[in-house]
C-alpha cells in the first residue's frame, strides 16, 4: 500500500474548525507543505461566508503571520456546506470545539462521503473501531481502518483520531521504557492556556494564577494511554493491562507547552543508565519514512537539572520533539521525571499532520 514515487498532485485537505486555536495551527503548519494543500476552510455559521482573513481578524493567536494564500479563501459552514467541502477535499483535519455528539455525526458524515478524517476532537476516541494514534508509538493500530471501512460500508473514507494533548509528553517516555514493564504511574500535568484555545489577552484571569482543575482532562490523561499502549487483536484494541495511571491536571500561566511531573513503578526496575540508553536508542518506526513533519529526534533527554523548560524547549524539532529530564529515584515509586511537549503542535495540529503523512505514505488515502 506504500505510496509510490514523488508527490505530483498534492493531497487536497480541508480544516474543520479552521478559525480556532488548533485550526490556526493547522493553517500555519500546512503552509508550503510538500504533500498537502489547503483546499478548503470551514467553521461555524458565525464565520461562514466571509474570508479567512476577516474571520480571524483580531483573534489570530500565533506569532507567525497568517499565510497569504489563505487570507482570501471564503469560509464554508462545516454542516450546511457539507457537500461543497466533501467534494473539494480528500482529507479533513477536524479541530471542532462543539457538542461531542454533533462532532461525532459530522466526522462520520464526512467519512461516509469518502473523505479521510483525522480528528483532534475527543468524541471518537473511544469508538472501538477507530484508532487513536501517536505515529511513533502505535502506527500498527492503523490496520483498524480496513475493518472500520468494511463494517460501516465505507469504500474510501475513514476516521483516525489523535489523543489528548495532556498525555503527549509522558506517554512517549513510558513507551520507550516498556520493556521494564511500567505498572503504576502518578502524573501531574502543568498545562498551558492555549490548551483551552486561549491567550492571556482573552483570559486575563490566568495572569499570575494557577487553576487546579481542567474539566474532563484527568479522565483522558488516565484512560487514553491504555488504548494507545494496547494491542491490536483481530478487529479491536485490547487495552494495556497491568498499567494504572493517576492524574492531576493543572492550568498554569504559560502560553504554550504542557509539562508533566511523573512517578513510575516498574515490574523490572531499570537503572539510570538503562533508562537513558532506552531513550537514546529508541527504534523509531518512522525513521526511514521521510515524513515531512517527523522530527529527527522523538525524545530528547536533558541531563541538566533545570531542563526541560517550557520557554526554552517546547519548540524543539519545530514543536514535534518531546523532551524529558530529571530522572531521579522516588522513595515510593521507582523513578520520577519531568517531561514536556508543545500542546498545539505535537499535542494537536502537528500530531494530526504527522498521522496524515503516515496515512499517505502507507497508502490509506485513496485519491481520485
Ligand atoms: N488547544 C489545544 O492545545 C488542543 C490540543 C489537543 C486537542 N484539542 C482539541 O481540538 C479541538 C479544537 O480546539 P481549539 O482549542 O482550537 O478550540 P477553539 O479555539 O474554541 O476553536 C473551535 C473551532 O470550532 C468551530 N466551531 C465551534 N462551534 C461550531 C459549530 N457549531 N459549528 C461548526 N464549527 C464550530 C469554531 O468556529 P467559529 O470560529 O466559527 O466559532 C472554531 O473554528 C477541541 O476538540 C479541543 O479539545 C485542542
> What is the pLDDT of the chain when averaged over all its residues?
96
**Other CB atoms within 10 Å distance of the CB of residue 10:** 15
- CA 21–ligand 1 middle distance (angstroms): 7
Residue ranges of the chain assigned to CATH 3.30.360.10: 165-342
- Mean predicted confidence (pLDDT) in 155-178: 98
Where in the sequence numbering do the catalytic residues fall? 165, 258
Encode pLDDT of 239-259 as tens digits.
Answer: 999 999 999 999 999 999 999
Q: Whose CA is nearest to atom 12 of ligand 1?
A: 95
CATH topology for 165-342 is Dihydrodipicolinate Reductase; domain 2 (3.30.360)
Which residue minimizes the CA distance to atom 30 of ligand 1?
44
Instruction: Provide CATH 3.40.50.720 ranges for the chain.
Output: 11-164+349-361
Residues framing ligand 1 (Cβ under 6 A): 17-23, 43-44, 46-47, 78, 95-98, 120-121, 165, 194-195, 197, 343-344, 347-348
pLDDT tens readout for residues 234-244: 899 999 999 99
First to last CA, the chain: 16
Residue 2 pLDDT > 90, yes or no?
A: no
Q: In a 3-state reduction of DSSP, which class is residue 289?
A: coil
8 pLDDT tier (thresholds 50, 70, 90): low
Q: What is the mean pLDDT of residues 351-358?
A: 98
Where b means 16+ CB within 10 Å and e means fewer, 51-75 reads bbeebbeeebbbeeebeeebeebeb
CA dist list (Å): 47 to 53, 55, 76 = 11, 6, 8
More confident residue, 2 or 7: 7
CA of 256 to the centre of ligand 1 (A): 16
Distance 95 CA to ligand 1 centre (A): 5
CA neighbor of 279 nearest in space, from 297, 251, 293, 299: 299
- 3-state SS class at 117: strand
Centre of ligand 1 to C-alpha 17, Å, is 5
Pocket test for ligand 1, best of 197, 202, 257, 343 (most atoms within 8 A of CB): 197
What's the CATH number of domain 11-164+349-361, 1.10.132.20, 3.40.190.10, 3.40.50.720, 3.80.10.10?
A: 3.40.50.720
Name the pTM for this structure: 0.97
List the alpha helices (DSSP H) in the chain: 21-30, 52-55, 68-71, 82-88, 100-112, 145-152, 170-176, 217-228, 272-280, 310-313, 350-361
Say how far apart CA 97 and CA 106 lie, in whole Å.
Answer: 12
Amino acid at each position: 500500500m506504500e505510496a509510490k514515487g514523488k508527490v505530483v498532485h498534492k493531497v487536497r485537505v480541508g480544516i474543520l474548525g479552521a478559525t480556532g486555536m488548533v485550526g490556526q495551527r493547522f493553517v500555519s503548519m500546512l503552509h508550503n507543505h510538500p504533500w498537502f494543500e489547503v483546499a478548503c476552510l470551514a467553521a461555524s455559521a458565525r464565520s461562514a461566508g466571509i474570508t479567512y482573513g476577516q474571520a480571524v481578524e483580531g483573534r489570530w493567536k500565533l506569532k507567525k503571520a497568517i499565510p497569504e494564500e489563505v487570507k482570501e479563501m471564503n469560509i464554508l459552514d462545516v454542516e450546511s456546506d457539507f457537500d461543497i467541502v466533501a467534494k473539494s477535499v480528500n482529507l479533513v483535519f477536524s479541530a471542532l470545539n462543539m457538542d461531542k455528539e454533533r462532532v461525532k455525526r459530522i466526522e462520520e458524515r464526512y467519512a461516509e462521503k469518502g473523505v479521510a478524517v483525522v480528528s483532534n476532537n475527543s468524541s471518537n476516541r473511544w469508538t472501538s473501531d477507530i484508532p487513536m494514534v501517536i505515529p511513533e508509538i502505535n502506527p500498527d493500530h492503523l490496520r483498524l481502518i480496513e475493518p472500520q471501512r468494511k463494517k460501516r460500508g465505507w469504500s474510501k473514507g475513514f476516521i483516525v483520531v489523535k489523543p489528548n494533548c495532556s498525555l503527549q509528553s509522558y506517554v512517549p517516555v513510558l513507551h520507550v521504557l516498556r520493556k521494564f514493564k511500567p505498572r503504576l504511574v502518578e502524573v501531574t500535568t502543568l498545562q498551558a492556556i492555549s490548551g483551552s484555545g486561549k491567550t492571556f489577552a482573552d483570559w486575563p484571569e490566568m495572569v499570575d494564577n494557577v487553576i487546579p482543575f481542567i474539566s474532563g482532562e484527568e479522565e483522558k490523561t488516565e484512560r487514553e494511554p491504555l488504548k494507545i499502549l494496547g494491542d491490536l487483536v483481530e478487529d479491536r484494541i485490547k487495552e494495556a493491562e497491568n498499567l494504572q495511571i493517576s492524574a492531576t491536571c493543572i492550568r498554569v500561566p504559560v502560553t504554550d507547552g504542557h509539562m508533566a511531573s511523573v512517578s513510575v513503578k516498574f515490574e523490572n526496575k531499570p537503572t539510570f543508565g538503562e533508562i537513558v540508553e532506552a531513550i537514546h536508542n529508541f527504534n523509531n518506526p518512522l525513521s526511514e519514512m521521510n515524513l515531512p513533519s517527523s522530527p529527527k529526534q522523538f525524545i530528547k533527554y536533558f541531563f541538566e537539572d533545570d531542563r526541560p523548560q517550557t520557554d526554552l524547549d517546547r519548540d524543539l524539532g519545530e514543536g514535534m520533539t518531546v523532551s524529558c529530564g530529571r530522572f531521579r529515584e522516588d522513595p515510593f515509586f521507582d523513578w520520577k521525571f519531568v517531561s514536556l511537549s508543545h500542546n498545539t503542535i505535537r499535542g494537536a495540529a502537528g500530531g494530526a499532520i504527522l498521522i496524515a503523512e503516515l496515512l499517505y505514505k502507507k497508502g490509506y488515502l485513496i485519491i481520485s
